[in-house]
Amino acid sequence: MVPSDEYMSLVREFPLKLIGSARSHKSAMEMIRRLAANPDLKEGSLDYFKVLVRLVEDYEKQTFPFEQSSPGELLAGLMEVNNLRAVDLAEMVIPSHISAILKGSRKISKAEAAKLGAFFKIDPAAFLEKVLPFEPKRQKKVANVSKPTYGVKTATGAAPKTASNKAAKSGSVHVGRKAVRSKDKSKPAG
């Protein structure tokens, strides 16, 4: 298939090649905006447009990793790119909530995420906090944790606070499953 004249004209104006800098990204975005504003693109221009969009997407995936943005950062970026203020999104999210979301002191609800996703034409899940499967769960802090006893038990079966106190004084110490009796009660067993 031979490229059309309009396709080649666009290639001469802005060559299709890998985007490697912020400057070429900006130029590519200007070209995309210009082409997107034309509702009557012919086949050659549409083919060029699709390839340029793919090149921009590849550059952005490498340069601006989407998964590293918080939902608040994503919302802030979308608002900036679209020249929107909190009041412009008031039908979807209460403006004071938007302010708190942007500050990071409030999360976006599922209902708000659905509305924002429909408005910005992106997956609503992008506005929700992600919990990675490998993140450790936070545990409550336990106060006054005793020293480990390393399997030492007293004759009653209770683990002492340390291996040298009650068990040693009783003369009977369990090490693993085997009971050990001290012959001399003044010396600890084991």
pTM for the model stands at 0.39
Helix (H) / strand (E) containing 181: strand 178-181
pLDDT band for position 177 (cuts 50, 70, 90): very low
Strand-strand pairing, 178-181 and 172-175:
antiparallel
Quick one: what percent of the chain has pLDDT higher than 90? Answer: 41
Residue recorded with tokens 């975005």: 29
Of residues 45, 60, 57, 59, the one with CA closest to residue 14: 45
Q: Each residue of 53-89: pLDDT tens digit? A: 999 989 888 887 655 678 898 899 999 988 999 999 9
Q: Is the pLDDT assigned to residue 175 strictly greater than 50? A: no
pLDDT band for position 1 (cuts 50, 70, 90): confident
User: Mind giving me the DSSP string for 170-186?
Assistant: HTEEEETTEEEE-SSTT
Task: Please list the residues that pair with 152 across neighbouring strands.
Answer: 175
Amino acid identity of residue 33, one-letter, is R
Q: Each residue of 135-167: pLDDT tens digit? A: 444 555 555 544 444 444 445 555 445 444 444
pLDDT value for 157: 52
Q: Each residue of 81-112: pLDDT tens digit? A: 889 999 999 988 998 999 999 998 999 999 99
Spatial strand order of the sheet with 172-175 comes to 152-154, 172-175, 178-181
The C-alpha angle with vertex 183 and arms to 178 and 185, in degrees rounded to 5, equals 105
Mean residue pLDDT of the chain comes to 76
Q: Report the alpha-carbon distance of residue 132 to residue 56 in Å, rounded.
A: 28
User: Mind giving me the DSSP string for 123-170?
Assistant: -GGGGSPP--TTSPPP-PPPSSPPPP-TTEEETTSPPPSSTTSHHHHH
With contact defined as beta carbons under 8 Å apart, do 112 and 93 qualify? yes
Residues composing the chain: 190
Amino acid identity of residue 55, one-letter, is L
